[in-house]
Structure 1
Amino acid sequence: MNKPCLQNSLMLLPLIGATGSLMSAMGVSLMLLLVIALFGVAMAPLRSRLAQWARLPAGVLLAATLTSCAQIAGQAWSLQWQQHLGMYAGLIALQCVVLEYNGFFRSPRRDRMRLCGGFVALMLVMGALRELIGNGTLAAHLSWLIGAADWPGLVLNADGGLRLATLAPGGFILLGLLIAGWQAWARPTPSQSTAFEETHHP
C-alpha cells in the first residue's frame, strides 16, 4: 500500500474531537469500521462498471447512504449515544470518499486491516487516557453504547482531573506525547545501531 495513503484524510478530526472519553472513542470507532467495511464491499463491483467520472458521485451517494443508515440504527439503539457523537458520525461518509480517492480500497487486505486496527487502537488509547486524566473516570456512560443498565464506570478520582485533557488542545498535546514516545521506543539504541553497521559492513 502506498504509504501516504491517508494524506489529506480527515482521520485527525475524530482522533482529537471524538476521544474525550472511552465511550465516544469506542462508538465512533465501531461506526467507522462498519461503514468503511460496507462501503468497500459495495463499491468493489461498482468500480469496474462505472466510468471514471461517475465513480466520485457514486461513492459520495453510497457513503452518505451507509452513514445515514448507521446513524439511524445508532439512534434506534441508543439516542444518548448517537447524540453524543455529534458531527463526527457525519464525517465518516466524507472519510470513505477520501479513502476511495487515495486508493485505500484497492490495497491489499492485510494492509487495510493493519491500518484500520492501528487507528482504532489509537482511538481507544486516546479516549481512555483523556477520560482518565481529564475526568478521573474510566468507561463512564459505556452503558449508552452497550445498551445495558446505567453504569457510572470506574470512578478513580472523585474530584475530577485535569480538564485540559478533555479539550482539543489537550488532545493534540497527548497525541504529540504518544507519537514522541513511540518514536523513542522504536528508535534503535546506539549499541544496536553499531551492531547493525558492523554486521552489514564487514
Structure 2
Amino acid sequence: MNRPTNLSNALLLALLLGTSATLAGALGMLLLSSVVTTAYAVCIAPLRARLSDSGLLLASLLLAATLTSCANILGQRWALQWHQALGFYSGLIALQCVVLEYNGFFRQARTERLKFFGLSSGLLLTLAVLRELLGQGHLGRGLSERWQGLVLFNEGLHLFTLVPGAFILLGLLLAARQALTRSNALSKETHHP
C-alpha cells in the first residue's frame, strides 16, 4: 500500500490554510470532510473489487463529487454564512478522496487511517486556534450567537488572518516540532569515551 504522496498532501495543505482562519470555519470543514470521507470509504469499498482500474477511477470521481455536492447542499441549507465563506474549499474534499483512493489510503489498516486523520485534524484545529487568537485577538466568536468568545486583546495582527500569515505560522509550528524531536533524539543518545 502506498502512503499518500505529495499531491494528496498538497491538496490537504490547501484545505488546511484556506479553512483555518477561524475556529468555526475549521470545525465546519472538519465536520464536512469527515462525513464525506467516511461516506466515501463505506460506499467505494464494495465497488473496489468489482471494477477495473479505469472503471474504479470513474466510479471514484462520480461518488466523491456526488457526496461532496450533497454535503454542499446541506451546508447551504443549514449553515449558509459558513458555506458562503468556505464553500469554495469543499470541492477539494472530493478531489482529496479520489487522490487518496488512487494512492491506496482506504485500503490501509484502520489504525493508519485514523492516525492520519487525527494528525491532520489536530493540525487544522491547532492552526485555526492560533490564527484566530493571533489574528483577531479572540477565540470562538463565531461558534454561538449567545457566546461572544474568549477575548484576549482587542486587535490582533491582521497578517495571521491571511493565507501568507498561515504559511508563516505553519512554518513556525513545523520548526517547533523539529526542534522538539531533535532535542529528544539528542537526549536519547549516549556518548561513550
Q: Bin the TM-score by the shorter chain.
A: over 0.9
1:86 Cα offset (Å): 3.1
Indicate the residue corresponding to 1:112 in structure 2.
Answer: 113
Aligned: 1:162 with 2:157: yes
Matched residue, 1:153 = 149
The answer for the alignment partner of 1:26 in structure 2 is 27
- For 1:146, the equivalent position in structure 2 comes to none
State how many pairs are aligned. Answer: 189
Deviation at 1:80, TM superposition (A): 0.9
Q: Check conservation: 1:32, 1:92, Cα contact below 8 A.
A: yes
Partner amino acid for 1:64? A
Deviation of 1:186 (Å) = 1.6
Kindly indicate whether the alpha-carbon contact (under 8 Å) linking 2:139 and 2:149 is maintained by their aligned counterparts in 1.
yes
Q: Give the residue type in structure 2 aligned to 1:177.
A: L
1:127 aligns with 2:128: yes
Match 1:179 to one of 159, 174, 182: 174
Q: Which residue of 1 aligns with 2:190?
A: 194
- For the residue of structure 1 that corresponds to 2:148, the secondary structure is coil
Identity %: 52
Matches of 1:77 and 1:115, distance apart in 2: 29
Find the counterpart in structure 2 of residue 95 from structure 1: 96
Unpaired runs of at least 5, structure 2: none
Post-superposition Cα deviations, 1:148-188, rounded to whole Å, max 9, x if no partner, equal x4433222212x11011111111111111111111111223
TM-score by length of 1: 0.88
Query: Unaligned stretches of 5+ in structure 1?
Result: 144-148
Q: Per-residue displacement from partner, 1:96-149 (whole Å, max 9, x unpaired)?
A: 001101110000000000000110110000001000000001012113xxxxx4
User: How is 1:8-27 mapped onto 2 (pairs within 5 angstroms)?
Assistant: 8-9=7-8, 10-27=11-28
Task: Report the equivalent of 1:35.
Answer: 36
CA distance in 1, matches of 2:15, 2:148: 24
Corresponding residue SS for 2:189: helix
- Most deviating of 83-92 and 35-44: 83-92
* Aligned-residue CA RMSD (Å): 1.5
Amino acid at match of 1:68: S
CA gap 1:42/1:107 in 2 versus in 1, 3 angstroms: same
- For residues 42 and 185 of structure 2, the distance between their equivalents in structure 1, rounded to whole angstroms, comes to 44
Q: Which runs of 4+ in 1 moved over 3 A?
A: none
- TM-score (norm. length: structure 2): 0.92
- Kindly indicate whether the alpha-carbon contact (under 8 Å) linking 1:132 and 1:138 is maintained by their aligned counterparts in 2: yes
Does the CA contact (< 8 Å) of 2:132 and 2:139 recur in 1? yes
Aligned partner letter, 2:162: L
Cα displacement string for residues 46-85 of structure 1 (whole angstroms, at most 9, x for unaligned residues): 0111122111111010001000111111122121122121
